[in-house]
Structure 1
Amino acid sequence: MNFEDRIQRRYRSQAGTQRVVDRAVLSPTTHLAEPTGRGPLLELVLDQLDPIFAGELPRDTYVWGERGTGKSAILAALVHHLDRHPRPLGQLIRTTAGTHSPPVPELVYVDTHRTASGFEFYATVLDRLTDEPAPQRAVGIEAVREELDAVLAERPVVPIVDHLTASRHVTPERVATLFDRLTADVGWVGVGRSPPAALDWTPPAAIEFTPYETSTLVDVLMTRADDALGQHALGHEHAQRLAEWADGDANDALAALFVAADAALRAESEQIEDTHITTGIADVPTQAVSLTRVFALSADCLSVLRELVALDPDRHPTVDAAAAAIADRDPIDLSTRTVRRFLRELATDGVLERTRSSGESQAGTPPELLEPRFSPILFKRLYDHTRSPGETTAASQSDGSITATAPSRTESER
């Protein structure tokens, strides 16, 4: 029984037409404190990490599965709870040398979206373990590695390396090599989408996350909607429609739910209706890129994307026209040439998709267009929300923390 949850839900149910009470709870970028519908998979992860509860390092493990299957969410909740409860009070481990409590290895999170080199990788791990900021420049990778080794000699660590197969710079083999070069022993967990056979590293153990069952995804959506909007704002039939459309992908389902809730709010509707669900589904592209990846981009890239999704595609259909229009807008302090380079780089990295218009340019070829591979409305709302005074959501976390971001309530699905 959780009194806080029950009382807060009653307050939210009385919010009238002000339905989006907590945008972060609806966002697919948010990890909440307790997973839903992933109990057996959580047990498999705990089985692999079981040695840490005896103060020992686990063997290296690879957690993999398709996008939106709950990989990061399970590990987010696990890191969150282990950080709060490192060892039951008074627990002792008895050894032949006497009675003592060896330190429980600490789980630390590294997002490869935010590490473009071995130096940055080491610095990120070090930054998670010390109060002093890790070196960012003016020293070599050897100096950072020595500093990290000194810390690891005093405390055992299990790094959680997320989005392992999404980075062009820090590959699984590269990560394994970086850990092998440390003097201290490390047991690490890689998290990615590619099957183990496709990796350039052979993990000693692997755990597969399969897509959500439709019924489980319905529960995920209903719980998030109840927490964020108040009870009865989302009907079961609408949650069923979203879950069936998302086909087991919690990221897509939550993105569409967020946009549907936003449409209901703007229409001053007390409930999410069919038309709002249709709006939500239409705004999420097929094979969308994760907004966690998008919000890991530089501030300049994010500001360019924000202005891009604000443009009228009929007025600014081409890359060149969009670059000129974006550079001319007040929030942007970049040249047209720089904006154009950003747009092309984002297309190369898969954040934007290159398409061709039906018309022809003066050179005789159709002009190139760029379309976001993410929900424009969701991106706009989260981007603007994080920049409102006194407001934050998961999208604003500068360190890509895997720690659960919502207080006490109930699931993390990503």
Structure 2
Amino acid sequence: MDLAERIARRRSQATEDRLVVDWDALNPGVHLPEPVGREALFEALFDAIDPVFDETLPPNVYVWGPPGSGKSAIVSALIPTLKEVLSRHQPVYTATRGGSELSGMRFVYIDARQASSRFRLYRQTLDAIRTGAVPERGIGTEELHEQLREELSVVEGALLAIDHLEESNTPSLEQVADVFGDLEKVSWMGIGRTPPEDLAVAPPSAGVHIPPYSYELVDILTVRATRGLSRNLNHVHARRLAEWADGNAHDALGALLVAAVSATNAGRTRIHAEDINRGIDEIPADGVPLGRLVALSENERTIIRKLLDRPHEDARTIDALADDISAQTDLTSSTVKRLLYELAQNDILSRVQVSPDNRVVGRKPSKVTPNFSRTLFEHLYEPDVGDPQPMSGRP
């Protein structure tokens, strides 16, 4: 943010009678164009992909780090910038395609949460490289593969950044290597949480470790609050959030957003200590990030909405809950039950035993609780909660 923008924002804030002026600025799922405090890591990534600056395919790279360390923020800022600076925009004329294609290197960001299969990986890559539309249906995986190979034949190559590997329902590093291994003009950058020594296969020799945030986290909270709030965030509050989050920017920002909702609902124009407390209390330890919620299917979101309509102390078993949700939707009880168990298996929900009676034979009765902040989920999907907006911005 340059000085002119800061002055303009201060002038507009002076006339604001509400706390939040930009919800996206507080949203942990929305990344800044230039992440705060990560300059040295950008240099490490530049070193890893150095051949690309001579329009030559770089080696495959593995980028890893703990949750909330800013991996997605860094890579989703890097790829569009590489595309803007290094992609040439001269048309390539061929006998079959005329002048619709562009030469130069291609740079593609893929969220593996939205591309869990070989088909989806090929389709998202092709959609990013091709200038025309790519069919969503009526086309097979092998045909997508051949079309991708054909598109690559007229460019120097493509660097794919594939984010969120090795999570529930996302490809592994081994699968990525297999999917793109026979495409000579593709290099990939795999991004995940798993340390190299814990992977099922040996990672690429080129690797970049993203450590958790330390002192930078206070700066991140301050910058985000300056953009999103009409009044400055108290430095004591920023420091408390940073210390509590222990290097996890996603959780720190999530707690800040919940605090902003709490203050807004109370009619305050500043965030108070009690709002910070609520934000911290609402973010579960080892909870799922917002990106996992965004990737849910419509049926899964419907089920979670119905679950969240229930009071916190509701001890209804999964079977009883499935019957009740089925009666309120067009989903069958068996479908709801299956999805509830799948959501629990994938850590979106947590299973809690209802009765400790060890005499029960077979699967013991259990209920499910959300493994995420209710306020954050409502902020994503319910337009009447705290004047929120759906998750948007960079990938």
What TM-score results when the alignment is normalised by the length of structure 1?
0.84
User: What residue identity is the alignment partner of 2:221?
Assistant: L
C-alpha distance in 1, partners of 2:78/2:218? Answer: 23
SS in 2 for 1:370: strand
- When residues 319 and 390 of structure 1 are mapped into structure 2, their CA distance, relative to the original with a 3 A threshold, is closer
C-alpha distance in 1, partners of 2:387/2:274? Answer: 32
- Give the C-alpha shift of residue 387 in structure 1: 11
Matched with 1:350 is: 347
C-alpha distance in 2, partners of 1:270/1:386? Answer: 19
- When residues 293 and 390 of structure 1 are mapped into structure 2, their CA distance, relative to the original with a 3 A threshold, is closer
Matched with 1:264 is: 263
| 1:90-101 correspondence to structure 2 within 5 Å | none
Matched with 1:411 is: none
SS in 2 for 1:206: strand
Q: Deviations over 1:170-200 (max 9, x none)?
A: 2211111111122x32111000000112222
Matched with 1:250 is: 249
Residues 306 and 383 in structure 1, CA contact (< 8 A), matched pair in contact too: no
Matched with 2:377 is: 379
Q: Does 1:197 align with 2:197?
A: yes
Matched with 1:175 is: 176
Residues 12 and 228 in structure 1, CA contact (< 8 A), matched pair in contact too: no
Residues 64 and 210 in structure 2, CA contact (< 8 A), matched pair in contact too: yes
Residue ranges of structure 2 left out of the alignment (5+ in a row): 90-101
- When residues 333 and 203 of structure 1 are mapped into structure 2, their CA distance, relative to the original with a 3 A threshold, is same
C-alpha distance in 2, partners of 1:361/1:335? Answer: 30
- Give the C-alpha shift of residue 5 in structure 1: 4.1
Matched with 1:140 is: 140
- When residues 389 and 70 of structure 1 are mapped into structure 2, their CA distance, relative to the original with a 3 A threshold, is closer
C-alpha distance in 2, partners of 1:13/1:66? Answer: 39
Q: Deviations over 1:135-156 (max 9, x none)?
A: 3343332211110001111122
User: What residue identity is the alignment partner of 2:326?
Assistant: A
- When residues 235 and 390 of structure 1 are mapped into structure 2, their CA distance, relative to the original with a 3 A threshold, is closer
C-alpha distance in 1, partners of 2:339/2:117? Answer: 20
CA RMSD of aligned residues (A): 2.7
Residues 23 and 388 in structure 2, CA contact (< 8 A), matched pair in contact too: no
Q: Deviations over 1:15-58 (max 9, x none)?
A: 12x21221111111101111101111111111222222221111
Residues 379 and 385 in structure 2, CA contact (< 8 A), matched pair in contact too: no
Structure with higher RCO (Cα < 8 A, 6+ apart): 1
Matched with 1:114 is: 114
Q: Deviations over 1:309-360 (max 9, x none)?
A: 221133453222332333344xx33223222211111011111111113565
Residues 386 and 392 in structure 1, CA contact (< 8 A), matched pair in contact too: no
C-alpha distance in 1, partners of 2:331/2:385? Answer: 20
Aligned residue-pair number: 379
Name which of 325, 333, 337 aligns with 2:334: 337
What TM-score results when the alignment is normalised by the length of structure 2?
0.88
Matched with 1:231 is: 231
- Give the C-alpha shift of residue 14 in structure 1: 3.1
Q: Which moved more, 1:48-57 or 1:345-354?
A: 48-57
Matched with 1:300 is: 299
User: What residue identity is the alignment partner of 1:374?
Assistant: F
User: What residue identity is the alignment partner of 1:12?
Assistant: Q
